[in-house]
Amino acid sequence: MRLNLPVRVDTSRPLIAAAAVLSGFGFTLLGSASAQAALVATGACDNATLSQPFASFGDSASYKLISGGDFESSLAGWSVSRGAAVVGGAGGAGHALALSPGESIQTPSTCVNTSYPTFRLFAKNTQGLGTVLVQAVYKLPPLNLSVPLPVGVITLNSTWSPTLPMLTGSIAAGLLSNGTAKLSLRFTALTGTTAIDDIYVDPRMR
């Protein structure tokens, strides 16, 4: 999706507590999986097409789009709560997804490893003060359990803006998955009516 927007001040505010949770999670896994330390993967985990969706905002990194993350095609594989609605997308083109308080969406899983430390997206509030809880959800062996990690709470502008980079926690998760893990992202509206669009993961291919 082509954006012709001026650079805006990002109002994302990751929770300080999230860093502590992610660090604790990582140390726990390191203690139980020290024998797998050599399995930490650092290369690309798939052949996804890369782009630079945040270049006009001073971020020249290459990103891969989460499957369906631009809301321009089928949402097969997504978990979408009842009431979530398709609206106009970032930059006034295409589509995005709107959430009212209590509604949530979860993306399909995508592969990540230690080279996929962060993700970003575009978001805005459409009514009231919009805040969104963000979680990174991993399915970990041996029981394929879904483990949600709190990432932070985004506080939104009234215009489309990119969020700050948010942590995936991929290093810790990868240690229990032979170096590569499956990540889904969950977004839950807390206050206000919000819209999100263009969800990207950074493979750090610099």
Stronger pLDDT, 67 or 31, i.e. the higher one: 67
pLDDT of residue 13: 44
13-17, 34-38, 198-202 — which one is most confidently predicted on average?
198-202
Q: Give yes or no for a cis peptide into 142 (omega within 30° of 0).
A: yes
Question: Which sign, positive or negative, has the C-alpha torsion 112, 73, 106, 198?
Answer: positive
Q: pLDDT band for 53, please (50, 70, 90 cuts).
A: very high
* 8 Å CB contact between 98 and 84: yes
Structurally, how many domains does the chain consist of?
A: 1
- Is 2 among the domain residues? no
- Is 7 among the domain residues? no
pLDDT (mean) for 8-37: 41
Please list the residues that pair with 186 across neighbouring strands. 106, 135
- Is 111 among the domain residues? yes
Question: How deeply is 97 buried, as exposed, middle or buried, from its count of CB atoms within 10 A (0-12, 13-18, 19+)?
Answer: buried
Q: pLDDT band for 88, please (50, 70, 90 cuts).
A: confident
Burial code (b: 16+ CB inside 10 Å, e: under 16) for 110-135 equals: bbbbbbbbbbbbbbbbbeeebbbbbb
pLDDT at 73 over 90: no
CATH of the domain at 83: 2.60.120.260
pLDDT at 119 over 80: yes
Q: Which helix (H) or strand (E) holds 112?
A: strand 110-112
Q: Which residue has the tokens 């709107």?
A: 98
Domain that residue 64 falls in = 12-202
Q: Which residue has the tokens 């789009």?
A: 65
- Is 180 among the domain residues? yes
